[in-house]
Structure 1
Amino acid sequence: MAITVSIELNRELEIPGSYDEVFDLLADVPRSAAHFPKVNKLTDLGDNTYRWEMEKVGIDKHAIQSVYASKYVSDKDTGKITWEPVKGEGNGVVRGSWVLKAKGDTATTAKFQTSAELTLPLPGLLKLAISPVIKHEFNGLVDTYMANLKKAF
């Protein structure tokens, strides 16, 4: 038996770096992922596609791990970086985007949007209890990621 948890996140932040610096960092998936907490392993699958394996959460046989892959497309002219899920990779489906806009020469406004569906091997009865915990954890990871990106500049 398995449950699926859906998560949607939107963030907007100002990064104290030039448009080119911020775009180049975010479009470089391994460099950007280095700022994301609790990544156990990032695997380059080729063609700007990466498999993310997050650290396990929980204890022993009750530990759960999120694994998913996404293909990334960057367009510097429009300021957009998008990612789409790769079917059949892991237990998650993740898509989203960054939309960047220069704010003068030394700052960049970044809009982050992502949605995820995680399928976990847990009994259906646990969905009501576990969904808020997973959403809270995911929100915390993204908030830490945003703070780490700001510190990178």
Structure 2
Amino acid sequence: MAITVSIELNRELEIAGSYDEVFELLADVPRSASYFPKVHKLTDLGDNIYRWEMEKVGIDKHAIQTVYASQYFSDKEAGKITWEPVKGEGNGLVRGSWQLTAKGDKATALKFHTSAELTLPLPGLLKLAISPVIKHEFNGLVDTYMNNLKKAF
């Protein structure tokens, strides 16, 4: 049995770094991923596709791990970085985007959007109980990521 949990997140923040510096960091997936918490392994699959393997959560046979791959696209002129899911890689489909806007020479406004569908090997009866826990964990990871990015500049 398996359940699917859908998550959608939006964040807005301002980074005390120039547009070029912030874009460079976010467009460099391994560098950007180094600020994301609980990443067990990031694998370059070529063609700007990366497989994310998150740390396992839980205990022994009840531990779950999120694994997914996304292909990344960067358009500096448009101020946009997007990612699309790669099917057949892991148990998740994750897509999203960064929208960057220069705020003078030393600050950049960011809009972050992501959506994920995670398929987990759990009984259907647990969906109502586990979905809020997974969403809470995902929100916490993204909030930590945002704070880590702010500290990078």
TM bucket by the smaller chain? over 0.9
Partner of 1:141: 141
Where do 4+ consecutive residues of structure 1 move more than 6 Å?
Answer: none
Report the alpha carbon displacement of residue 118 of structure 1 after superposing the two structures with TM: 0.2
1:108, 1:13 → 2: CA distance? Answer: 8
Matched to 1:27, the amino acid is: A
**TM-score, normalized by length of structure 1?**
1.00
1:20, 1:45 → 2: CA distance? Answer: 26
Partner of 1:48: 48
Report the alpha carbon displacement of residue 127 of structure 1 after superposing the two structures with TM: 0.1
Segments of 5+ residues of structure 1 without an aligned counterpart are: none
Aligned CA RMSD, in angstroms, stands at: 0.2
1:137, 1:44 → 2: CA distance? Answer: 25
How many residues of Structure 1 are paired with residues of Structure 2 in the alignment?
153
2:16, 2:94 → 1: CA distance? Answer: 27
SS at match of 1:5: strand
Report the alpha carbon displacement of residue 51 of structure 1 after superposing the two structures with TM: 0.1
SS at match of 1:7: strand
Partner of 2:21: 21
2:67, 2:112 → 1: CA distance? Answer: 20
1:48, 1:19 → 2: CA distance? Answer: 22
Report the alpha carbon displacement of residue 106 of structure 1 after superposing the two structures with TM: 0.2
Segments of 5+ residues of structure 2 without an aligned counterpart are: none
Matched to 2:15, the amino acid is: I
